[in-house]
Structure 1
Amino acid sequence: MELLHRGKVRDVYSDRPGEVILVATDRVSVYDVVLPTPIPDKGKLLTSLSLWWFEQLADVMPNHVISATDVPAEFEGRAVRVQQVDIIQVECIARGYLAGLGWDAYQESGKISGVSIPPGLREGDKLPQPVFTPTTKTAPEDGHDEPMTFEEVSEAVGPELAKTLEAKTLELFSRATEITAGRGVHLADTKFEFGLAKDGTLVLADEVLTSDSSRYWRDEDWKPGQRQVSFDKQYVRDWARDLGTWDKTPPGPEIPAEVVDETRARYVAMYERVTGLKWE
């Protein structure tokens, strides 16, 4: 097997023409920095949740998954064999609530990625309707992802593809929120990645609706007007931000054992609530 790419969380291998193996590790990154402490079972949890969501959304659009079992034994449970596709260089983000960078942008300008948001909303408030707020796809060594307006997406990929990306992002998000709402979960926002298969078909790629790429809040915790209780990677981001001693550049700080344990517990809890399956 050939290692094609080592990302912040995923490693990509090739062993057959036209196919790659995505391996989710237990690494965790915040502010584009990989922290030195792994989260046990994180790779398996992300892979299992992503596969579950690919199944739920298969009637909305095709995806790149070939097999979750036809993978090397050493990667069992945390790897997926997928079609090799040309990833579109736009992070397609859908937001249904004000949180994170979306909240920061709203406070500064009343807009997110050029989209005007009604005034008077608080952190954690539900938006009148979900919005498409894309960003660039920037390698960590080259900087951070930057917000893109719809016009900038059109210039980058062409107007027709830009319209399709927006429509599919919002359609996928709508279906996902219908599912999570029935399970006592607010899906605040999420990131989708799309790719073009060899025949030109647009497919859903990478991971989908994991606790690394999404913000998940339990119904019973949702309290607009303050920072929300997160059952996703935001818990680690908040811990790192609240340290007050780290400048968000490498090397990252070691994560204390109690934060590791709580992070894993929250990933497990959200996996079980969203899927209705017991994590073994």
Structure 2
Amino acid sequence: MSSEEALVKIDIGDKLPKVASGKVRDLYAIDDNTLLFVASDRISAYDVVMENGIPGKGALLTSMSKFWFTYLPTIIPSLQTHYLTSSLPAPLTPAPPHLSPRAMQVRRLRIIPIESIVRGYITGSAWAEYTARGTIHDIALPTGLVQGQKLPVPLWTPSTKAECGRKDENISPHAARTIIADDAVAATVEQLSLAIYKAAAARAEARGIILADTKFEFGLDERGNVVLVDEVLTPDSSRFWPRESWEANLGGPQPSFDKQFLRDWLTGEGLKGKEGVRVPEEIVRKTAEKYREAYEKITGEAA
């Protein structure tokens, strides 16, 4: 990750029309079938975007997503992704140096309106629900589980896909199927999510990292095929834990290579869910270190 100033606002002038701006990425239309994704250094926690960002984060997230978009189809041959190329379209060439590492061209698809979460371990909001009701997303679980424990099998535990500035809500698999409104599509989303999680968890564990949980998004192409989209298996969308210390920390919080460090700081300062938060430089630096370590361990490449 770069030590340069965080890039929280993407500006490409009038070169391409902007389609949308999310918590991290800005989307631009190249043509009717292709979008340009550009990842900023913005960071969000508890569905709120911080005032300042993490320098170099957008380039790292883009590189990590490209790694997984390339790797996963070698393990799951049926998997289709929206990723096309890292090159920039003609209107943006020559490009500013900061733009190329943050950008990728992707297929323009109809987005399925849920967050497709898979949990292999019990933590976060799933742990809170389990301690209150003995369930995760309304799925009944055995009694006696402890925080951080590996689940008997990975679970598909979707959430709503809220607009920027609103909070996603955990829902049951049944509720997700109702939102998707197509049993075959819902079944494919669930099956692919579990298959991707298992493939990624195996890769991560071989590199010394536990993939505790992660979030996927999917779209539909013109033929109705389910396609993996957005970012994938990054520290923004996943919980990564060091494998070597996992068992020793059962029953309590796990050290992590993701934004949990930032979440813990916000909670400790009474800032959870607050707007207008500026993150101190020390927390920015340590969050950047966590992200860099996750990237380097999983991909085997220098950040």
Query: Which band: TM-score by shorter chain?
Result: over 0.9
**Residue 144 (structure 1) aligns with:** 167
What displacement does 1:247 show?
A: 5.4
What displacement does 1:26 show?
A: 0.3
Aligned partner letter, 1:70: L
Distance 2:39 2:164 in 1: 18
Task: String of CA shifts for 1:81-103, please: whole Å, max 9, x gaps.
Answer: 00000110011000000111111
Query: Is 1:233 aligned to 2:259, yes or no?
Result: yes
The percent of aligned pairs where both chains have the same amino acid is 40
| 1:13–1:22 CA contact under 8 A, matched in 2 | yes
Runs of at least 5 residues in structure 1 that lack an aligned partner in the other structure: none
Query: Is 1:215 aligned to 2:239, yes or no?
Result: yes
Query: Is 1:171 aligned to 2:186, yes or no?
Result: no
Distance 1:247 1:199 in 2: 42
| 2:208–2:243 CA contact under 8 A, matched in 1 | yes
Query: Is 1:29 aligned to 2:8, yes or no?
Result: no
Aligned partner letter, 1:45: L
Distance 2:142 2:80 in 1: 34
Distance 2:299 2:211 in 1: 14
More displaced stretch, 221-230 vs 92-101? 221-230
Distance 1:203 1:258 in 2: 39
**Which aligned pairs between 1:1-280 and structure 2 lie closer than 5 A?**
1-59=16-74, 60=76, 61-71=79-89, 72=92, 73-74=95-96, 75-141=99-165, 143-157=166-180, 158-222=182-246, 223-244=249-270, 246=271, 248-251=273-276, 253-279=277-303
Q: Give secondary structure in 1 for the equivalent of 2:42.
A: coil
Aligned partner letter, 1:85: L
What displacement does 1:199 show?
A: 2.5
Task: String of CA shifts for 1:231-257, please: whole Å, max 9, x gaps.
Answer: 10111111111112x252322x21111
What displacement does 1:119 show?
A: 1.1
Distance 1:208 1:248 in 2: 24
| 2:46–2:272 CA contact under 8 A, matched in 1 | no
Distance 1:147 1:33 in 2: 17
What displacement does 1:201 show?
A: 1.8
TM (norm. structure 2) is 0.88
Distance 2:55 2:107 in 1: 28
Cα RMSD for the two superposed structures:
1.2
Distance 1:120 1:168 in 2: 30
| 1:150–1:162 CA contact under 8 A, matched in 2 | no
Task: String of CA shifts for 1:43-73, please: whole Å, max 9, x gaps.
Answer: 0110001110111112420100111123532
Task: String of CA shifts for 1:197-240, please: whole Å, max 9, x gaps.
Answer: 12322110001001100000111232111111111011111111
Distance 1:228 1:191 in 2: 19
Q: Per the alignment, do residues 247 and 261 of structure 1 end up closer, same or farther by CA in structure 2, a change over 3 Å counting?
A: closer
What displacement does 1:15 show?
A: 2.3
Aligned partner letter, 1:226: G
Q: Give secondary structure in 1 for the equivalent of 2:101.
A: coil
| 2:88–2:103 CA contact under 8 A, matched in 1 | no
**Paired residues, number:** 276
Aligned partner letter, 2:22: G
More displaced stretch, 221-230 vs 89-98? 221-230
Distance 1:92 1:118 in 2: 23
Distance 2:19 2:169 in 1: 25
Aligned partner letter, 1:248: G
What displacement does 1:182 show?
A: 0.6
What displacement does 1:144 show?
A: 1.5
